[in-house]
Amino acid sequence: MRKVICPGSFDPVTNGHLDIFQRASEMFDEIVVAVFHNPNKEKAMFSMQERVDMLQECTRDIANIKVDAFTGLLHEYVRGQNANVVLRGLRALTDFEYEFQRALMIKKLDPDIETIFMMTGTDYSFLSSTGVREILAFGGCVSELVPECVEKKIKEKQVQP
């Protein structure tokens, strides 16, 4: 059985992430989307639980997907899941630099783990969670960039005092 781990911050999940999950679900038997708590990232917009909940909601039509959360070392998490493949999405050259280093670092720590990359969908090459958060910080509309459940959650947050 081919199992793949898709790790990320997903703060919040975007249509670009969903496109990768959808395409990966046709290539693998099981996908685990793993929400990673990265202590080096600036303050998150959504809590880990909120991110997991939104991911669960917007992926519920994908039968072979599971959403989980983790903190710590990725290669240890991957092993704990009885998997050895990590899937990351690739947008521009800037992603490549970072992903290349990360993939080699994981390989150094555990040579049996493979990181594979999937090219962004043609409509999503500009789309990032950071971009979405920036638009929101200035009151902009992200309805074409994120799934409906994320938009709903954002609106709920905006009406909170």
Q: Which residues are catalytic?
A: 17, 41, 91, 129
Residue 58 has, within 13 A of its CA and on its CB side, a CA count of: 25
- Which listed residue (4, 5, 10, 153) binds ligand ADP by CB under 6 A? 10
Closest distance to ligand ADP from the beta carbon of 81 (Å): 17
The string of DSSP letters for 94-156 reads HHHHHHHHHHHHHHHH-TT-EEEEEEPPTT-TT--HHHHHHHHHTT---TTTS-HHHHHHHHH
What is the spatial order of strands in the sheet that 65-70 belongs to?
A: 65-70, 30-36, 3-8, 85-90, 114-119
Q: Rule CB under 6 A: is residue 22 a binding residue for ligand ADP? A: no
The 80-99 site mask, x for binding ligand ADP (CB under 6 A), equals --------xx-x---x----
Nearer to ligand ADP, 26 or 160 (CB): 26
Give the binding-site size for ligand ADP (rule: CB under 6 A). Answer: 16
Residue among 104, 103, 63, 62 nearest 86 (CA): 103
Nearest approach in angstroms of CB 9 to ligand ADP is 3
Nearer to ligand ADP, 36 or 160 (CB): 36
| CB 133, CB 45: distance < 8 Å | yes
Residue 77, H or E segment: helix 74-80
109-138 binders of ligand ADP (CB under 6 A) = 120, 124, 127-129
Q: Which is nearer to ligand ADP, 8 or 147 (CB)?
A: 8
Residues that bind ligand ADP (CB under 6 A): 8-10, 14, 16-17, 20, 88-89, 91, 95, 120, 124, 127-129
